[in-house]
């Protein structure tokens, strides 16, 4: 499957790739942390559509097709209902819309936990259907055998510890983790188990900062923080959160734009123009020659 985006027709809204480009690779991402040091932090954002990927691609090292699409795209209450087909379709769109960043796709709840074999079938299907370079899965030591199984069979795996949203029913909510010694110790040992199993990077989500720093110092592979610490080896945010698409976001989100207000204003102007018959105007209508 070609990962170069080539669509270039008069009617397409898609941006053609200016020239063939070499995509970053998982080994290149892994090598950004050498002897415990990451000179330049890794930049990751979520992406769910081709156009979003086109806009983010040149700025990011990694694009994550996160199962957060449950809430962001589908208006679902949690990530639990997400299916492999949903992930495969959005990941394929993101691969088609990008040519620089490494595309990683989330394994949805229920598609990998039962056994390493189940995980391999699900992950292989995702990579075949989408052209993504690797998968992300949630969980710590309990997933180490699965991470080793996948990586030894050609599937790069990004781990995810701390606040793991697919475990919301066990955790009882989305509060920050690692506030007591027992939980903090488990997050550190979970992250180490994933590192030793061969994960090429580990997302550290929603943990108290000292634990994020301890995990980052303990792991040979890069950590990617979200609600964690600027001392992680990289950062990720849900793109729509940082664009200001939602009124309610977690406190760790920094809003870089207020797109919801911009979209609402544009829709209001359009509605007013339609109602006053100011749209379509001369420029937007066809006349006989």
The catalytic residues are 205
Residue nearest to ligand KIV (CB): 66
Number of chain residues interacting with ligand KIV (CB under 6 A): 11
Segment interacting with ligand KIV, rule: CB under 6 A, options 59-67, 95-103, 214-222, 270-278: 59-67
According to DSSP, residue 254 is labeled P
Segment interacting with ligand KIV, rule: CB under 6 A, options 66-74, 88-96, 185-193, 255-263: 66-74
| Strands 157-162, 33-34: pairing kind | unpaired
What is the rounded CA–CA span in Å between residue 278 and residue 280? Answer: 6
Among 42, 57, 60, 66, binds ligand KIV (CB under 6 A): 66
Helix 116-130 and helix 84-96: axis angle, to 10°? 40
Phi-psi region of 214 (alpha: psi -120 to 50; beta: other; left: phi over 0): alpha
Closest residue by Cα to residue 184 from 159, 162, 155, 169: 162
Q: Does the footprint of ligand KIV cover residue 46 (CB under 6 A)?
A: yes
Q: Please check whether residue 24 is in contact with residue 102, taking contact to mean a CB–CB distance below 8 angstroms.
A: yes
CB 45 to ligand KIV: min, Å: 9
Among 57, 61, 106, 240, binds ligand KIV (CB under 6 A): 106
Residues 189-248 that bind ligand KIV (CB under 6 A): 203, 205, 226, 236, 238
Nearer to ligand KIV, 17 or 69 (CB): 69
Residues in the chain, how many?
289
Cα 109 versus chain centre, distance: 15
53 membership: H or E segment, kind and range: helix 50-56
Closest residue by Cα to residue 137 from 154, 110, 157: 157
174 membership: H or E segment, kind and range: none
Segment interacting with ligand KIV, rule: CB under 6 A, options 63-71, 80-88, 174-182, 274-282: 63-71
Among 57, 61, 67, 214, binds ligand KIV (CB under 6 A): 67
Residues 140-169 that bind ligand KIV (CB under 6 A): none
CB 44 to ligand KIV: min, Å: 8
Binding site for ligand KIV (CB under 6 A): 46, 64, 66-68, 106, 203, 205, 226, 236, 238
């Amino acid at each position: 499957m070609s990962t170069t985006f080539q669509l270039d027709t008069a009617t397409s809204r898609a941006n053609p790739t200016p020239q063939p480009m070499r995509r970053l690779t998982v080994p290149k991402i892994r090598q950004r942390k050498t002897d415990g040091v990451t000179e330049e932090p890794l930049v990751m954002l979520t992406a769910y559509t081709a156009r979003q990927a086109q806009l983010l691609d040149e700025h990011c090292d990694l694009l994550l097709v996160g199962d957060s699409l449950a809430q962001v795209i589908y208006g679902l209450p949690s990530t639990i209902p997400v299916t492999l087909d949903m992930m495969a379709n959005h990941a394929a769109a993101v691969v088609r819309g990008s040519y620089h960043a490494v595309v990683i796709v989330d394994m949805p709840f229920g598609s990998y936990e039962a056994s390493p074999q189940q995980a391999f079938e699900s992950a292989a299907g995702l990579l075949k259907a989408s052209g993504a370079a690797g998968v992300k899965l949630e969980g710590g030591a309990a997933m180490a055998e699965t991470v080793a199984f996948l990586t030894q069979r050609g599937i790069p795996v990004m781990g995810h510890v701390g606040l793991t949203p697919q475990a919301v029913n066990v955790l009882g909510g989305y509060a920050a983790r690692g506030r007591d010694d027992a939980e903090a110790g488990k997050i550190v040992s979970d992250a180490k188990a994933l590192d030793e199993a061969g994960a090429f990077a580990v997302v550290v989500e929603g943990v108290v900062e000292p634990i994020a720093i301890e995990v980052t110092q303990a792991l040979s592979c890069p950590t990617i923080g979200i609600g964690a610490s600027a001392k992680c080896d990289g950062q990720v945010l849900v793109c729509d959160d940082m664009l200001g698409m939602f009124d309610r976001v977690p406190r760790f989100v920094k809003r870089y734009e207020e797109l919801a207000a911009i979209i609402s204003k544009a829709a209001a102007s359009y509605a007013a123009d339609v109602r006053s018959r100011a749209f379509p105007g001369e420029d937007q209508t066809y006349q006989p020659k």
